[in-house]
Structure 1
Amino acid sequence: MIGVLVTFTPTDKFDRATLTKIAGELRGPFEGMAGLRFKSFMLDEDGNQARNFYVWDDAEKGRAFFTKEIVDKVTGIYGAPPTIEYLDIVGFVDNSGT
């Protein structure tokens, strides 16, 4: 299992309403995506960074998803290039089924 943290830091602060709209518009393609356990769209408290967090069942699929085309696309959507960090998930708690 692999986690991927994608961070966008624009020159101006993000607007929460704009990011909520982006999350709603981009949600569909991720629903039911093979190998993706979950994805979250997040905004830090100060509005300075948008962060998306993915959990992939397979590290290879997680890494393969972030092609140059995807990076270019999300740079256009968020108005800032992303920083992508790959994280080895060594433990996981899922309370969604309780």
Structure 2
Amino acid sequence: MIGVLVTFAQTGKFDRSTLAKIAGELRGPFEGMAGLRFKSFMLDEEGGQARNFYAWDDEEKARSFFTAELVEKVTGIYGAPPTIEYLDIVGFVDNSGT
């Protein structure tokens, strides 16, 4: 399993209501997406950053998702270009079923 951390940093701070709106508008295409285990929309208020975390079944699916076209599109949505980090998930705890 591969994790992808996508960070958007702005000179002006992101706020919760703006990111909640973005998350609400963008969640649909991710529901049931092949190879994607989960995606989270996150706010780092202290650091003034929006962060999205993805868990993918494999690295090939993750890397094929983050195309130049997608990066351009999300730069327009968030108003800042993303930094994309690929992380090897070596362990995972899922308490959602309890």
Q: Could you say which TM-score interval applies, normalised by the shorter chain?
A: over 0.9
The TM-score, its normalising length taken from structure 1, stands at 0.97
| Cα contact 1:15–1:47 (8 A) shared by 2 | no
The TM-score, its normalising length taken from structure 2, stands at 0.97
Counterpart of 1:5 in structure 2 is: 5
How many residues of Structure 1 are paired with residues of Structure 2 in the alignment?
Answer: 98
In the TM superposition, what whole-angstrom CA distance separates every residue of 1:4-47 from its partner, at most 9, and x where no partner exists?
A: 00000011111211110000000000000000000000001326
Counterpart of 1:88 in structure 2 is: 88
Counterpart of 1:45 in structure 2 is: 45
Task: Quote the Cα distance in structure 1 between the aligned partners of 2:85 and 2:47.
Answer: 20
Unaligned runs of at least 5 residues, structure 1: none
Unaligned runs of at least 5 residues, structure 2: none
Task: Quote the Cα distance in structure 1 between the aligned partners of 2:47 and 2:21.
Answer: 15
RMSD across aligned positions (CA):
0.9
**Which residue type is aligned with residue 76 of structure 2?**
G
Task: Quote the Cα distance in structure 2 between the aligned partners of 1:92 and 1:17.
Answer: 30
The runs of at least 4 aligned residues of structure 1 exceeding 3 Å deviation read none
Provide closer, same or farther for how the CA distance between residues 19 and 47 of structure 1 changes in structure 2, counting only shifts above 3 A: farther
